[in-house]
Structure 1
């Protein structure tokens, strides 16, 4: 069991470090190509922090562990709202960005409803995966065009990052390689521990794997909140959840149709409930406050207790 725990911890550490390198290099290269920081934030950074979930879910799909692949996405979305965003709000209350309320939050609610409907039978085929990926492309095109229009009146020159471009490319290559290697270690350790404990792959995906692969979002969100950049913190969570549902589930199902017999309707309902709860919380007073974060945290702790106390 010790080698499996070491593989889990080592793989997780490698995932976090590799994701950081990938985001740093990709964001710098995007800026060199003339993309604005706003567009980079909407695409490269938000999706880069979801890279561990993507690689882990694809590795799990290839290994025939569909429960981990799907549970990772569902559990990560719950953790992003109930744990990560809640902790960020505890650090500092977060104002609700009007563009987020108008564009991205409704898109997340719609994507969640679609994913719940497709996963209700605990399976996701290639056709359904294609549908999710088409939704992701449509959202990306819409959000980037809207963001460019909204900032057109105050457009500023984009300064190229300091240092050579080859260094940024090296960060991207090293980050991608580290993600693949870390995910292989992480998924292997998680699967073997689940088998040894008699716990379903879905439960492992909803708990250990989901929290572990969400660490890049945790770091990004808490640092942004501490610096008073609440819009970045909230946008990172909403963007990451959208990519998890449309991109990761879509790619995973295309690689290998996903079957998650351990996933239950209550897990999908919890994910939907946390997502829908964000709407009134962000609309009330146009900000997330510490009392609301306490509600989210209590709900997350209760859900984790429910999962872990289920009979084996």
Structure 2
């Protein structure tokens, strides 16, 4: 710890100190809300909506809303969010990143923040890294949302436009970043507004934010027609991908020694996120193999996209 931190305290500690009274306000309602009947607890959702309609803000109802969702989670799932999870939910509601360690219950944290922000009626997106997590989390947390009178939707590969539109119009919608991205692109290609599936974005909670906003951001989302050149390139890149040396990690937290992994391996397979990320060593091999000066140059986006897809196909 630096001398400045010792004297003035770190930024995180200061922020946690500001959040502490809000967290305590939620905990102080625990005994009162545990005594509510099922009808009284379920009725809280409409009460909150009425208060928002009357001019109150989400911050005004935050302690009561989180306490309601907390009690509902306990009654439905047998799990009552801990103080650290309440703090995480408050941080997410504030539009910031909450770093939660493995085992601290990120799914319940997202549930609390999603419930609060869904009360506005404008919709909440919970973004996951794959279809399995989107489906699992929507089914598990959906029990809590439905108990409290909210609608829940999930966007999965293979749904038609009508099914997608219905899911997006729910209070809370679970989807992968790719499904959201491609639906956005398709919506911008339609002629008539009625053919769009997404509604105006309001609030999103991103699971594995580093993977989605950093690692996945390297892969462009492209809608294009089928072409012989692209098909041929897939075959060429696939042969190249098979020559690369991968390393497998259980999840992002395990990649602490990035420098070593970048030096010794060509790409990293993340089992939990089901992703494959090329390393600096892999990039150098690709640049040499395909005779390009800079693989990350916008002119080489098509090649980079094919390489990323080949790494996923071979490694994941």
Task: Report the TM range for the smaller structure's normalisation.
Answer: under 0.3
Of Structure 1 and Structure 2, the greater helix share is in 1
Of Structure 1 and Structure 2, the greater strand share is in 2
Structure (1 or 2) with the larger CA radius of gyration: 2
Taking structure 2 as the reference length, the TM-score comes to 0.25
For CA contacts below 8 A with separation 6 or more, give which structure has more relative contact order: 1
